[in-house]
Amino acid sequence: MSTPARRPRRRWTGDYRYLFENLVMKDFRVRYRTMSLGVLWSLINPLVMMTVLTFIFGRVFGGDRPPLFPVFVLCGLVPYNFFTLAFLSGTLSIVDNAPLVKRVPVPREIVPIVAVLSHVVHLLIQIALLIGFTLAFGLRPTAAWVWLPVVWIFYIIFICGLSLGASALNVYIRDTRYLVESFNMILFYLVPIFYSFEIIPARYAALYQFNPVAAMVLATRNILLDGKAPPGSLISNLMVAAAFTVGLGALIFSKLKLRFYEHI
Amino acid sequence: MTAERIPPGTVRFDRVTKSFAKQGGPKLLRERLGDLFASSKGRRIEVLKDTSFALAPGESLGLVGSNGAGKSTLLNLATGLLEPDSGTIDVGGRVGALLELGAGFHHDLTGAENLRIQAALMGLSRKDMETKFDEIAEFSGVREFIHEPLRTYSQGMILRLAFSVAVCAAPDVLLIDEMIGVGDQAFKELSHRKVQEMRKAGHTILLASHSEELLTSLCDRALWLERGRVRMLGNVDEVLAAYRAS
């Protein structure tokens, strides 16, 4: 009879803060060092998208469009872009970091979380851009702006949770990558980026109400465009989404991580 | 479970068994999903069976055996990269694993950036690293290129950098897999000398190698693995003599 396996008593004991800082900066540097425009790309990309969407839906289609349409669009693009980039990097992280996972005994959970956090650096640049536009269009900061970091933190935790689960699944089922890519593409239309929540017929409202990315877009607009705190329903939506995905993601991850070594 | 404090530098394997899943051919998504959450008991190959040994702090153990005998699996288990199927593994203190030098290095980053990342992965704190950085850079012998991207380095320079950060971190337990066999003569001598120094300074060493010269000069005892089982455990000269005779 063999004795049942026990959890090892070994724990990685080290400086978590120093480790996170180094790994996040590593991802960030690697991504931008080989580009001559470097970090400017995080400004160019949303600006181009904003201009195109403003032109098409503001001028070509014409009709009634929400006031301050460029800022309105940018409030949709920044959360959407962050979601797609961070979620995809997170999903691929374990497989992409095979040398690390197979050779260094750090807790594996760090890998997808670092992948998500490494996008926060350019998220901050994009938020600065968003705020710059908001001010340039004549809006003034209000007390409601303090909600901005709060909702973003829940949003980032939500994406970390998703990435934990998806990165572990991607080790065993490499198709997960393509599922995530397709999902991200469909999401562009399911998030009110270039249209407002008010035009959605009531019977489809549920599709948006339970979608944390849509909730994030609406909350960002509430704060920056209306200068009001987001309604409690949006905040609780984001909180529940964060708690739920982290719980489920961590559960999937802990179950699957034991055999990562054999599968990558 | 009682949280017994394991003295730094101790390595204990108690009836450790580890098996790997046979991969088999391509599978349908449905079967794949089924496997994912089921503990696949069948179709597995045991690579390490009922292996037990113990090292007190400061002891050094050589692992011998033919390729595929389970030496690397044993080191990976000791490092914490693999979980045993059954049995217990206790390792006290900080572990430094020289399994594959330069794994995790990124070629677009500078030598200094790679050193800091590697040190953080090994568990060093910012303060530790600030005080040790110069020593590591000096020992690596690539100090003047430390702010150049790694892709401009020669293979030998990368090896020295990786080796320097691993040993200068002063781990309580040093796990080495064939590592000293790589690189040119100068690197072999340097790494051999450094490991010998660490051994004398009381670090626990676990070394897998095919080189008898290395094993006799660096180890007190040896463990002979054959197809995942302990064939012999004892004094390094006796084990090597028996291994040679087999």
Lowest mean pLDDT segment, chosen from A95-109, B109-123, B170-184: B170-184
Q: B27 or B102: whose pLDDT is higher? A: B102
**Domains parsed from chain B with CATH numbers:** 103-170 (1.10.8)
Q: Return the amino acid letter for A242.
A: A
Cβ-defined contacts of A185-191 (< 8 Å, 24+): A187/A80, A187/A83, A187/A84, A187/A213, A188/A80, A190/A214, A191/A76, A191/A79, A191/A80, A191/A217
Strand-pair category, B44-55 with B95-98: unpaired
- Is B45 within 8 Å of chain A by CB? no
Q: What is the mean predicted confidence (pLDDT) over B90-102?
A: 84
What's chain B's average pLDDT?
87
- Whether the pLDDT of residue A240 is over 60: the answer is yes
Going by pLDDT thresholds of 50, 70 and 90, the confidence category of residue B1 is: very low
- Is A262 within 8 Å of chain B by CB? yes
How many residue pairs bridge chain A and chain B with CB atoms within 8 Å of each other?
A: 122
Q: What is the mean predicted confidence (pLDDT) over B86-97?
A: 88
Going by pLDDT thresholds of 50, 70 and 90, the confidence category of residue A109 is: very high
Distance CA B30, CA B33 (A): 5
- Under DSSP, the state recorded for A172 is H
Report in angstroms the alpha-carbon separations of A205 from A191, A200, A208. 11, 6, 5
Question: Across the interface, do B91 and A256 touch by the CB < 8 Å criterion?
Answer: no
**pLDDT value of position B27:** 62
Task: Residue B112: name the closest of B144, B138, B146 by CA.
Answer: B146
Mutate to test the interface with B, among A17, A26, A173 (most CBs of B within 10 A): A26
Q: What is the mean predicted confidence (pLDDT) over B176-199?
A: 82
- Whether the pLDDT of residue B37 is over 90: the answer is no
Q: What is the mean predicted confidence (pLDDT) over A12-35?
A: 87
**pLDDT value of position B14:** 94
B46 three-state secondary structure: strand
User: In the structure encoding, which two tokens stand for residue A32, read together?
Assistant: 């931008």
**pLDDT value of position A248:** 98
Numbers of helices and strands, H then E, in chain B: 8, 9
- Whether the pLDDT of residue B32 is over 90: the answer is no
Task: Residue A78: name the closest of A113, A119, A25, A32 by CA.
Answer: A119
**pLDDT value of position A169:** 94
* First-to-final CA distance of chain B: 42
Kindly list the domain boundaries of chain A, sorted by start residue.
27-263
Question: Across the interface, do B116 and A22 touch by the CB < 8 Å criterion?
Answer: yes
- Whether the pLDDT of residue B183 is over 80: the answer is no
Q: What is the mean predicted confidence (pLDDT) over B203-212?
A: 92
- Which residues of chain B from 48 to 87 reach within 8 Å of chain A, CB to CB? 50, 76, 79-87
What's chain A's average pLDDT?
90
Instruction: Return the axis-axis angle of helices B111-122 and A16-33, rounded to nearest 10°.
Output: 150
In sequence order, what DSSP letters do the residues of A100-143 get, joined into one string?
A: HHHH--S-TTHHHHHHHHTTHHHHHHHHHHHHHHHHHTT----G
Q: What angle do CA A85, A90, A95 make, to 5 degrees?
A: 125
Task: Residue A119: name the closest of A42, A224, A185 by CA.
Answer: A42
Q: For residue A154, what are the contacts with CB-CB under 8 A and spacing of at least 6?
A: A235, A238, A239, A241, A242
Numbers of helices and strands, H then E, in chain A: 12, 0
**pLDDT value of position A239:** 96
- Whether the pLDDT of residue A3 is over 50: the answer is no
- Is B204 within 8 Å of chain A by CB? no
Percent of chain B at pLDDT > 70 equals 90
**pLDDT value of position B39:** 57
Question: Across the interface, do B32 and A172 touch by the CB < 8 Å criterion?
Answer: yes
Chain A partners within 8 Å of B106 (Cβ): 26, 30
Going by pLDDT thresholds of 50, 70 and 90, the confidence category of residue A230 is: very high
The string of pLDDT tens digits covering residues B55-85 is 999 999 999 999 889 999 999 999 888 889 9
- Whether the pLDDT of residue A9 is over 60: the answer is no
Distance from CA of A194 to the nearest CA of B (A): 37
Cβ-defined contacts of B189-197 (< 8 Å, 24+): B190/B160, B190/B163, B191/B163, B192/B217, B192/B218, B194/B163, B194/B167, B195/B167
Question: Across the interface, do A3 and B15 touch by the CB < 8 Å criterion?
Answer: yes
What are the beta bridge partners of residue B208?
B63, B177
- Whether the pLDDT of residue B23 is over 90: the answer is no
Distance CA A245, CA A159 (A): 8
**pLDDT value of position A1:** 38
**pLDDT value of position A5:** 45
In sequence order, what DSSP letters do the residues of B86-130 get, joined into one string?
A: EEEEEE-S-EEEESSTTTT--TTSBHHHHHHHHHHHHT--HHHHH
- Is B28 within 8 Å of chain A by CB? no
Distance CA A2, CA B221 (A): 27
**pLDDT value of position B181:** 57
Q: Which ipTM did the prediction report?
A: 0.83
Distance CA B139, CA B135 (A): 6
**pLDDT value of position B22:** 72
